[in-house]
């Protein structure tokens, strides 16, 4: 029972931080809430004995994307000083879309738990094993990996270009 309570606490912290990502006014605060939310997801993966996904969550999302967002926000100081109200007149449409997506996920999750599991797959014929082998196969995903690293490099260079003024000084 204590692990279930810990799971619910981590899930609640993850949900609250995800809501804070979209409700806080400052972009830097939103980026930090994003890091906490992604870390909560990694903890949930770890609690579900999905250690591979937990490590990928830490390395890819927190270690790369969230830090890149934080650097981009820090390099563009003008964006950090914006205190304008960040609401839209059509917030209700977004709320309806979110409720539809959440309902679809809930129905799918409930239907998934009711599925009858047939005879087990033979050893070595699992989706996770195939996924892991595809990730380490250099002929399969070497090009997309290199393209994504060039994309991240271009994003960093673009953030530096935006941060530096045309006269050569900081913005």
**Domain chopping of the chain, boundaries:** 1-84, 125-171
In what helix (H) or strand (E) does residue 34 lie, and over which residues does it extend?
Answer: helix 27-47
What percent of the chain stands above pLDDT 70?
A: 73
Query: At 164, phi and psi to the nearest 5?
Result: -90, 130
Q: Is 17 strand, coil or helix? A: helix
- Tokens 């990502």 belong to 21
Q: For the stretch 115-130, what's the b/e string if a residue is b when 16 or more beta carbons lie within 10 angstroms of its beta carbon?
A: eeeeeeeeeeeeeeee
- Residues 166 and 168: their CA atoms lie apart, in Å, by 5
- Tokens representing residue 47 in the block: 């609690």
Neighbours of 31 (CB within 10 A): 20
The per-residue pLDDT for range 69-122, each reduced to its tens digit, is: 777 777 776 655 556 666 677 878 888 988 998 888 888 877 766 655 555 545
Q: Is 57 exposed, middle or buried (0-12, 13-18, 19+ CB in 10 A)?
A: buried
CATH numeric code, 1-84: 1.20.120.1200
Region 6-15: mean pLDDT is 92
What is the model's pTM?
Answer: 0.52
């Amino acid at each position: 029972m204590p692990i279930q309570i810990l799971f619910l606490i981590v899930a609640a912290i993850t949900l609250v931080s995800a809501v804070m990502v979209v409700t806080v006014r400052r972009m830097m605060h939103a980026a930090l809430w994003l890091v906490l939310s992604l870390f909560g997801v990694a903890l949930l993966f770890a609690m579900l004995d999905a250690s591979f996904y937990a490590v990928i969550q830490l390395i890819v999302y927190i270690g790369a994307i969230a830090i890149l967002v934080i650097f981009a926000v820090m390099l563009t100081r003008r964006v950090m000083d914006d205190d304008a109200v960040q609401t839209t007149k059509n917030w209700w449409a977004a709320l309806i879309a979110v409720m539809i997506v959440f309902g679809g996920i809930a129905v799918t999750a409930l239907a998934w738990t009711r599925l009858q599991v047939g005879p087990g797959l033979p050893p070595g014929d699992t989706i996770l094993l195939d996924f892991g082998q595809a990730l380490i196969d250099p002929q399969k995903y070497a090009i997309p990996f290199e393209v994504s690293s060039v994309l991240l490099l271009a994003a960093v260079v673009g953030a530096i270009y935006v941060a530096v003024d045309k006269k050569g000084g900081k913005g």
